[in-house]
Amino acid sequence: MTVEVALSVMAAARTGHLAVCDEDGRCTDVVTRDGLTAVRDGSAYTDRIRLRDIAGVAGDDARRRARSRQWSE
């Protein structure tokens, strides 16, 4: 999924974060709208950048919150 598609999905779902899953359906990352917007507005951005290309860059705060929720359940 590209950054633009992810931003559109988040806007339609009215959410500020999106889980990124691998081919087995396991959550591998969480990205935030603010993180993706920062990537999109960066000088290195192209419309071919995919979420897997920026793993770990666009959602550190959301990832920490998701992990803390997972361990508290």
Q: Return the ∠ at Cα 58 (arms to 56 and 60), rounded to 5°.
A: 65
Burial of 40 by CB count in 10 Å (0-12 exposed, 13-18 middle, 19+ buried)? middle
Local confidence band at 6 (pLDDT 50, 70, 90 cut-offs): very high
Query: What pTM does this model have?
Result: 0.71
Instruction: Give the tens place of pLDDT for each residue, 15-71.
Output: 988 888 888 888 888 888 988 998 899 888 888 888 878 866 665 555 555 555 444
Which residue do the tokens 């920490």 mark?
Answer: 64
Q: What is the pLDDT of residue 4?
A: 93
Helices (H), the chain: 3-13, 33-41, 60-72
Q: Where are the domains of the chain?
A: 3-72
